[in-house]
Amino acid sequence: MSDHSDVRTSAMPTGLIDSHCHLELLRDTEGDLAAAWQTGLEAIVTIGFDLGSSRKAAAFARRYERVHAVVGLYPHEADKLDDALLAELERLTREPKVVAVGECGLDYFHDRCPHDVQRRAFSAQIDLARRAGLVLVVHTREAAADTMRVLAEEAAGLTVVLHCFSLPGHVDECNARGYYQSFAGNVTYKKAEDLRAAAAAVRDDLLLVETDAPYLTPVPHRGKPNQPAWVAATAAVVAEARGWTLERTASVTTANARRAFGLPAAG
């Protein structure tokens, strides 16, 4: 079971949105959701990484009013993409609360799938997002040049969200292209000065926050599985980096998440 005893803090704002988490991987999904709503979280975007998790994400979105889904294939799963799987993902994109395709992209750090296979799967999902008229949620790790090149060549006109933002050397280019840049719990880590500098440099209208729960647990909760309520800890560090209040960060990032993913207004 997850530890929900410390989800509340005196500085906890209402109105945040967790723009990227994996509800099907949480050890206590019901408890974590209850904690999230208790702390004032307005909405959660839950992400698929293969066909099974994409189906579960869509099911969570059907079940919970404030949960929305993203369906797609993670780079490590790229070799599983075939016509049948792509057709099933396309079917899922037609569900009314599926708001994006992803998380897809390139990961050369773990290198579990040949780069050319990853690129083909990435391109196929960019095309799927275009056909479906949905947002593209991108994972990139140690693949900055190829990711930016593919997006420039193939994703023009799409709404792009760079999840767990890891391209601090490309902030100005991402701003110029209009890509949303979403910061996860690793922005709170002691050695993440480059990420905090990036968080300070993102255009106001492109800034998002996320948990990537159950991964990337932010300070001061490290050592425990992450949960959506703890997006506030990430938002607090982003606020400090930008010289903002936590309330302003919540207001700005929530408005951005609603606009990026086409989420309905609260209430």
Distances 265 to 44, 159, 257 between C-alpha atoms, Å:
13, 19, 11
219-260 residue pLDDT tens: 999 999 999 999 999 999 999 999 999 999 999 999 999 999
Domain extents for the chain? 17-261
Give the strand pairing for 67-71 and 98-107: parallel
Q: What is the CATH architecture assignment of 17-261? A: Alpha-Beta Barrel (3.20)
Region 114-133: what's the mean pLDDT?
98
pLDDT of residue 201: 98
Residue 13 above 70 pLDDT?
Answer: no
pLDDT of residue 266: 82
Residue 153 above 80 pLDDT?
Answer: yes
Closest CA to 39 of 202, 230, 265, 249: 230
Confidence of residue 7 (pLDDT cuts 50, 70, 90): very low
Helix/strand/coil for 244: coil
Q: How far apart are CA 45 and CA 257, in angstroms?
A: 9
- Predicted structure pTM score: 0.95
39-78 residue pLDDT tens: 999 999 999 999 999 999 999 999 999 999 999 999 999 9
pLDDT of residue 14: 67
Region 102-118: what's the mean pLDDT?
94
